[in-house]
Chain A
Amino acid sequence: MALVSLQGVGKVFSGRTGAWEAVRDFSLDLAEGEFFCLLGTSGCGKTTVLNMVAGFEAPTAGSILLDGAPVEGPGADRGVVFQGHDSLYDWLTALDNIGFGLRLRGMGKAERRAKAEHFLRMVGLTGQGAKHPSELSGGMKQRIQIARALANDPRMLLMDEPFGALDAMTRAVLQGELSRIWAETKKTVLFITHDIEEACALATRIGVMRRGPGGTLKAIVPVDLPFPRERTSDDFMRVFRDVHGLIHDEIHGAH
């Protein structure tokens, strides 16, 4: 059985300017342990899909099942890494941010600290634990977000363009780190991006979305290249070209 199953999911937002159909008839099964990249142009509804899986927004059509049970709101089984770093708690240290979910569960201070240290090390920030978010760079803040989500040991990770606001160098480094962490932890990941190269570098499967409104899944491309991925290899280029071909029409129809 799939870990997550979206069946004919649709989402219509109704506002003062009328109704807006963000997502239409979206169906997808995610298997345990896979790294699924949802790729699409801006405004195609990919973030809306993630928000519905996270439970932040309810679908207006279809259903979303997690382990066979309908998703009815946000929960600790789905860890979310947000695009912006406003989601970190400015008044807590990096270490306390990472241990936040453990604190919610009433875990003791010493145990919490040890666990937080472990994940701080995993995201490569050993020794930075006492700093507050305002003292960390954008890339470091995203690392803290990833560590915070992982420390809570969720069934899956939902990542909403987590590296979108970073410079190209930092982004490439973090993509490499994320691949390594994914291999270490074997978490199921749903990763939203509009960057073809990023999707090709990270995913085991790439879902290409049709452009909005009423965005839906156009095609799924399996990527069976070994990790770490060599971005200049012929195989990588071939996958890139395939995905690029699929999204080409969507880019040039948009705007």
Chain B
Amino acid sequence: MRFTVRTERLTTIAGYIAGFGLLFLIWHLAATYLVKSTLFPPPGPVLARGWMLIEDGILQEQIVASLKRIAQGFLLGSAIGIPVGLAIGSFKPVRWLLEPWTEFFRFIPAVAMITVSVIWFGIGEESKVFLIAYTTIFVVIISTAAGVGAVGRDKIRAAQCLGANRWQVFGLVALPATVPYILTGMRLAMSNAFVTIVAAELIASNDGLGKMLWDARLFMQIEDIFVALVALGLLGFATDRSFRFLIRAFAGRFNATV
């Protein structure tokens, strides 16, 4: 049993490495033989440049700056979104009151909010954290509320006829049954957060991967642009994998859908 799990895990990792290898190979072939332009560098020089930026400590600085904003905004947004989603899913009056809000705001993308957030909070950390929180909240709310609504009627009835009061039904049945939905909502929100942070840093920031992209464009440092892009892709990939790992660890054994 343990052996097969480990083999499966190794196969997965080997698959990832091969997949990335193939991606870099195609990139290399396309840049060397197909496009042949200084505007599309092959992976070799880009990786070399990336290594140089790491040695100088510059790349890490940008990554940490962006990740810190994502983490803060994401946690803030989830901390607001989860209880609000639980309330919307549990109480009809709250749903009637707040559903117009969620349905209204979720169609105003965070990118459209950059201008007001800069006007309100300046170009410091606050505006970025606000935007990430904003982009996180509504996805988490909607998926949490949907999760509460999806708790089977018999699960609740079973608890009631075992003697559960209202709070026990909520805390011991509705809440754990909703956890996979909450985590899935957070996972979706995380990918939104990556989109938002780059857009926000492109427009108004002193550091971060978005700012790095923007500066590199100004000075035509084409390798730097690609370093930032690869860094974003790898970070996103790593974050999503860790999320999936968390979801599996929490919910995988009893929920085949994640």
- Bound Cα distance A88, B158 (Å): 8
Across the interface, A56 reaches (CB within 8 A) one of B155, B157, B176, namely B157
Across the interface, A134 reaches (CB within 8 A) one of B154, B177, B256, namely B256
- Bound Cα distance A133, B157 (Å): 18
- Bound Cα distance A86, B254 (Å): 12
Across the interface, A75 reaches (CB within 8 A) one of B152, B155, B161, B172, namely B161
B158 partner residues in chain A, CB cutoff 8 A = 80, 82, 87-88, 148
- Bound Cα distance A86, B173 (Å): 12
Q: Interface size of B by Cβ–Cβ distance < 8 Å? A: 22
B100 within 8 A of A: no
A104 within 8 A of B: yes
Is B254 a contact partner of A91 (Cβ separation < 8 A)? Answer: yes
B87 within 8 A of A: no
A119 within 8 A of B: no
Given contacts A132-B254, A134-B253, whether A86 and B155 have CB atoms under 8 Å apart is yes
Give 1 or 0 for each of A56-97: 1 = CB within 8 Å of chain B CB.
100000000000000001111011101010111111000000
Is A89 a contact partner of B253 (Cβ separation < 8 A)? Answer: no
- Bound Cα distance A73, B253 (Å): 34
Residue of B nearest to A54 (CB): B161
A40 within 8 A of B: no
B160 within 8 A of A: yes
Is B161 a contact partner of A55 (Cβ separation < 8 A)? Answer: yes
Which of B161, B163, B173, B256 lies at the interface centre, i.e. has the most chain A CB atoms within 10 A of its CB?
B161
A73 partner residues in chain B, CB cutoff 8 A = 160
A188 within 8 A of B: no
- Bound Cα distance A89, B160 (Å): 13
A100 within 8 A of B: yes
Residue of B nearest to A103 (CB): B172
- Bound Cα distance A56, B254 (Å): 27
B123 partner residues in chain A, CB cutoff 8 A = none
Is A76 a contact partner of B157 (Cβ separation < 8 A)? Answer: no
B163 partner residues in chain A, CB cutoff 8 A = 75-76, 101, 104-105, 152
Q: How far is the CB of B256 from chain A (nearest CB, A)?
A: 7
Is A74 a contact partner of B256 (Cβ separation < 8 A)? Answer: no
Is B154 a contact partner of A152 (Cβ separation < 8 A)? Answer: no
A88 partner residues in chain B, CB cutoff 8 A = 155, 158
Is A80 a contact partner of B172 (Cβ separation < 8 A)? Answer: no
Q: How far is the CB of A137 from chain B (nearest CB, A)?
A: 16
Q: How far is the CB of B156 from chain A (nearest CB, A)?
A: 9
B164 within 8 A of A: yes
Give 1 or 0 for each of A2-16: 1 = CB within 8 Å of chain B CB.
000000000000000
- Bound Cα distance A84, B152 (Å): 11
B168 within 8 A of A: yes
Is B157 a contact partner of A82 (Cβ separation < 8 A)? Answer: yes
- Bound Cα distance A78, B179 (Å): 29
B98 within 8 A of A: no
Is B176 a contact partner of A89 (Cβ separation < 8 A)? Answer: yes
- Bound Cα distance A168, B197 (Å): 59
A56 partner residues in chain B, CB cutoff 8 A = 157, 160
Besides A87-B158, A90-B177, A104-B164, 7 other A-B contacts (C-beta < 8 A): A74-B157, A75-B160, A87-B152, A90-B255, A91-B179, A100-B162, A104-B163
Chain A residues close to B by CB (< 8 Å): 54-56, 73-76, 78-80, 82, 84, 86-91, 100-101, 103-105, 132-134, 148-149, 152, 154, 158
Q: Can you report 27 A-B residue pairs in the complex whose CB atoms are below 8 A from each other?
A: A55-B160, A56-B157, A56-B160, A74-B161, A75-B161, A76-B161, A78-B161, A79-B162, A80-B158, A82-B158, A84-B154, A87-B155, A87-B157, A89-B176, A90-B254, A91-B179, A101-B162, A101-B163, A103-B172, A104-B163, A104-B164, A104-B172, A105-B163, A132-B254, A133-B254, A134-B256, A149-B162
